């Protein structure tokens, strides 16, 4: 196992649950063990946040019933949890991962590949399977990912899967039009589609949302991938493509009119819109810069996204390591001669299918683009190998398009000599924090831009240069994101009308939402999987596969799901919501005792 624990991503979300009555093993009859129980109980320390109290109680019961003595390291908040985790004060920790790109490669690469920026393990077989699956189509990769799960969980017990969660959100239906409030399986909540019941209020009344974390990692999209900024950066930076609510790739509300994949799955073409302009902040007012979001910004943004050394503390480079080259297409015959993957049609035909005016000429100067006259910008992305899942990564917030000129004007420091105390890079939250005395240097390519933040909320204004006059122009002029860390407080704020929507309602709060006539609950299966992560550095679980397997087979997912009134789903790995491998975890006390006995014998040798 790898002797480190990488940085936490957005997708590393700890499920907020409050205590309630817990089903014990006495409540669910199981088969008696045929194997002699271990001569002594084995100590195990569980690290979790207090918001995980429900899971803590279930796991403590299951482990205790299987020959463990469980001690609980329960921390009050996420910061304290991270401190204890980084100090190595645990054997197992309740952890979660949400695949926010909707593709299986994202579900595993960062967590389980040896060089992943959140890697838990170092296993050459798993590395090879991750790379193999990344080059395969959905029709091909199921067998590969099944084998990966068997290596990851069955053979080595590198993680212990617990369950897949539902994705729940609630909103005030007296305020928001139901059809305008999207619930997406993967992508963060999109603000631009929201409409008020009373549409006359859209220019006057701010939309009030909430999130738990107030300390923002970075408003530079490549420098953060966690719950503090995913929703915010998703709405501040446009991308080449987007995900639909059910994880299909779409050009809707993106920088592209249309995209095309060339035969061989290595070349990807995008014809760019010419009606997006960067927004900036002067004082606390939004202004349109009149700088078009264009091809040079796309090339700059994606090259820095894939370059680990482009910024200090780059947290998303592994998502974009398959980007080989990003270029401007200037020769129209290239589009005429390149063939669409799986078709005899040309790339040109596919790109023109999303246009009102045919492509008469290609321009490489973004200011020369004019779709009404048939002058378009087309960018080509070439991957390092065939990699169909690259489009999902391009829909991720870390692939948001920034202004080349603005970022270069702010990031004048030397990356190798960067000093966090004196250098203030583009996107640093200090630049938008009230009272800092610093000038807001954000340039937003997306529908909204942050004006300022404090410990209470962050304020955003509509980008006047974002697809004005189209169906994708935002209707609501102002969005306020309140920082509310406690789920009870967030739900209370929704019920009292202080906020308009609560994104991420815990399962044990759903009955309160359903009992409130003014609230509407939306719920779908998510891509979020909760699992136990082992200490990989200074405990016996790092070295003993028998000890890890004993923990694995002590976990009864059916019991857990029953406690949650079937509002959870089975899981075998972080791939479970995306790929049906057929693998299932079955609790087995015989196997628990076999592995515990083997572990104790090895300690005596």
**Whether 363 and 471 share a structural domain:** yes
Final residue in a domain of this structure, among 448, 467, 482? 482
**Whether 193 and 86 share a structural domain:** no
pLDDT digits (tens, 9 = 90+) for 184-210: 998 899 999 999 999 999 999 999 999
The beta-strand segments (E) located in 12-158 are 42-49, 68-75, 92-98
The beta-strand segments (E) located in 241-367 are 242-243, 249-250, 256-261, 267-272, 277-282, 285-292, 323-328, 361-362
Coil/strand/helix, residue 43: strand
Coil/strand/helix, residue 544: coil
8 Å CB contact between 520 and 178: yes
**Whether 248 and 379 share a structural domain:** yes
The continuous run of DSSP H or E covering 35 comes out as none
Coil/strand/helix, residue 303: helix
Q: Which of 586, 530, 555, 528 is nearest to 44 (CA)?
A: 555
pLDDT digits (tens, 9 = 90+) for 405-445: 999 999 999 999 999 999 999 999 999 999 999 999 999 99
Residue 318 domain flag: yes
pLDDT digits (tens, 9 = 90+) for 233-253: 999 999 999 999 999 999 999
Residue 339 domain flag: yes
8 Å CB contact between 54 and 19: yes
**Whether 193 and 272 share a structural domain:** yes
Angle at 599 between CA 597 and CA 605, to 5 degrees: 105
pLDDT above 60: residue 17:
no
Residue 506 domain flag: no
Final residue in a domain of this structure, among 458, 482, 506? 482
When mean pLDDT is compared across 111-115, 331-335, 446-450, the lowest value belongs to: 111-115
pLDDT digits (tens, 9 = 90+) for 24-37: 444 444 455 688 99
DSSP state of 339: B
Give the confidence band of 565 by pLDDT, cuts at 50, 70, 90.
Answer: confident
**Whether 423 and 540 share a structural domain:** no
pLDDT digits (tens, 9 = 90+) for 466-513: 999 999 999 999 999 999 988 899 999 999 999 999 998 988 888 899
pLDDT digits (tens, 9 = 90+) for 132-169: 999 888 889 999 999 999 999 999 999 999 999 999 99
- What was the pLDDT predicted at 507? 81
Q: Which of 218, 180, 153, 221 is nearest to 545 (CA)?
A: 153
Domains identified in the chain, total number? 2
**Whether 363 and 437 share a structural domain:** yes
The continuous run of DSSP H or E covering 57 comes out as helix 53-64
Residue 395 domain flag: yes
**Whether 598 and 551 share a structural domain:** yes
What is d(CA 19, CA 42) in angstroms, rounded to the nearest whole number?
A: 26
Average pLDDT over residues 212-226: 93
* CB neighbourhood size of 7 (10 A): 15
**Whether 162 and 181 share a structural domain:** no
- What was the pLDDT predicted at 31? 52
DSSP state of 356: S
8 Å CB contact between 91 and 539: yes
3-state secondary structure 301-330: HHHHHHCCCCCCCCCCHHHHCCEEEEEECC
**Whether 162 and 195 share a structural domain:** no
Give the confidence band of 1 by pLDDT, cuts at 50, 70, 90.
Answer: low
Final residue in a domain of this structure, among 482, 516, 539? 482
**Whether 137 and 229 share a structural domain:** no
What is d(CA 380, CA 394) in angstroms, rounded to the nearest whole number?
A: 13
**Residue span of the structural domain in which 380 resides:** 176-482
Give the confidence band of 391 by pLDDT, cuts at 50, 70, 90.
Answer: very high
- What was the pLDDT predicted at 14? 35
- The mean of the pLDDT values for the chain is 92
Residue 385 domain flag: yes
**Whether 227 and 354 share a structural domain:** yes
List residues bridging with 42 in a β-sheet: 68
> Residue 375 sits in a domain of what CATH number?
3.40.190.10
User: What is the pTM assigned to this prediction?
Assistant: 0.85
Coil/strand/helix, residue 271: strand
- What was the pLDDT predicted at 27? 44
pLDDT digits (tens, 9 = 90+) for 296-348: 999 999 999 999 999 998 989 988 999 999 999 999 999 999 999 999 999 99
- What was the pLDDT predicted at 11? 39
Residue 531 domain flag: yes
8 Å CB contact between 57 and 50: no
Q: At 140, list the tokens.
A: 């091909």
DSSP state of 98: E
- What was the pLDDT predicted at 115? 84
Residue 48 domain flag: yes
**Whether 160 and 221 share a structural domain:** no
Residue 414 domain flag: yes
List residues bridging with 458 in a β-sheet: 453, 481
């Amino acid at each position: 196992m790898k002797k480190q624990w990488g940085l936490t991503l957005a997708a590393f979300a700890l499920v907020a649950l409050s205590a309630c009555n817990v089903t014990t093993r006495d409540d669910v009859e199981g088969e008696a063990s045929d194997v002699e129980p271990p001569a002594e109980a084995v100590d195990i320390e569980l690290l979790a946040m207090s918001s995980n109290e429900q899971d803590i109680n279930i796991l403590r019961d299951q482990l205790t019933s299987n020959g463990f003595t469980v001690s609980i390291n329960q921390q009050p908040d996420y910061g304290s949890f991270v401190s204890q985790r980084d100090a190595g004060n645990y054997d197992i920790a309740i952890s979660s991962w949400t695949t926010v790109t909707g593709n299986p490669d994202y579900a595993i690469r960062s967590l389980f590949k040896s060089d992943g920026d959140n890697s838990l393990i170092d296993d050459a077989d798993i590395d090879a399977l991750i790379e193999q699956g990344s080059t395969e189509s959905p029709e091909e990769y199921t067998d590969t990912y099944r084998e990966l799960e068997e290596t990851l969980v069955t053979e080595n017990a590198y993680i212990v899967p617990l369950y897949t969660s539902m994705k729940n959100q609630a909103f005030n239906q007296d305020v928001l039009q139901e059809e305008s409030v999207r619930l997406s399986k993967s992508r963060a909540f999109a603000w631009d589609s929201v409409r008020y019941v009373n549409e006359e209020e859209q220019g006057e009344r701010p939309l009030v949302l909430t999130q738990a974390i107030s300390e923002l990692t970075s408003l530079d999209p490549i420098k953060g991938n966690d719950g503090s900024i995913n929703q915010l950066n998703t709405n501040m930076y446009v991308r080449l493509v987007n995900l639909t609510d059910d994880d299909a790739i779409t050009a809707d509300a993106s920088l592209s009119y249309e995209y095309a994949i060339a035969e061989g799955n290595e070349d990807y073409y995008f014809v760019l819109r010419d009606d997006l302009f960067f927004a900036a902040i002067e004082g606390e007012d939004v202004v349109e810069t009149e700088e078009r979001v264009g091809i040079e910004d796309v090339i700059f943004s994606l090259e820095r996204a894939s370059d680990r050394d482009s910024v200090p503390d780059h947290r998303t480079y592994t998502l974009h390591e398959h980007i080989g080259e990003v270029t401007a297409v200037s020769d129209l015959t290239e589009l005429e001669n390149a063939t669409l993957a799986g078709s005899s049609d040309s790339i040109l035909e596919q790109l023109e299918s999303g246009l009102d005016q045919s492509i008469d000429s290609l321009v490489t100067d973004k200011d020369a683009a004019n779709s009404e006259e048939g002058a378009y910008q087309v960018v080509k992305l070439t991957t390092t190998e065939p990699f169909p899942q690259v489009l999902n990564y391009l829909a991720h917030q870390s692939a948001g398009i920034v202004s080349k000129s603005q970022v270069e004007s702010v990031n004048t420091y030397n990356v190798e000599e960067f000093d966090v105390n004196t250098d203030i890079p583009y996107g640093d939250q200090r630049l938008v924090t009230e009272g800092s005395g610093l000038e807001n240097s954000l340039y937003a390519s997306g529908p909204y831009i942050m004006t300022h933040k404090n410990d209470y909320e962050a304020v955003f204004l509509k980008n006047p240069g974002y697809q004005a006059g189209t169906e994708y122009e935002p209707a609501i002029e102002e969005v306020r994101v309140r920082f509310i860390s406690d789920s009870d407080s967030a739900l209370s704020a929704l019920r009292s009308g202080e906020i308009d929507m609560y994104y991420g309602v815990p399962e044990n709060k759903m009955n309160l939402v359903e009992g409130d006539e003014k609230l509407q609950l939306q719920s779908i299966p998510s891509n979020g999987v909760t699992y136990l992560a082992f200490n990989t550095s200074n405990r016996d679980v790092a070295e003993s596969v028998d000890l890890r397997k004993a923990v694995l087979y002590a976990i009864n997912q059916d019991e857990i799901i029953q406690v949650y009134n079937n509002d959870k789903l089975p899981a075998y790995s972080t791939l479970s919501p995306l790929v049906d491998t057929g693998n299932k975890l079955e609790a087995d006390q015989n196997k628990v005792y076999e592995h515990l006995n083997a572990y104790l014998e090895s300690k005596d040798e």
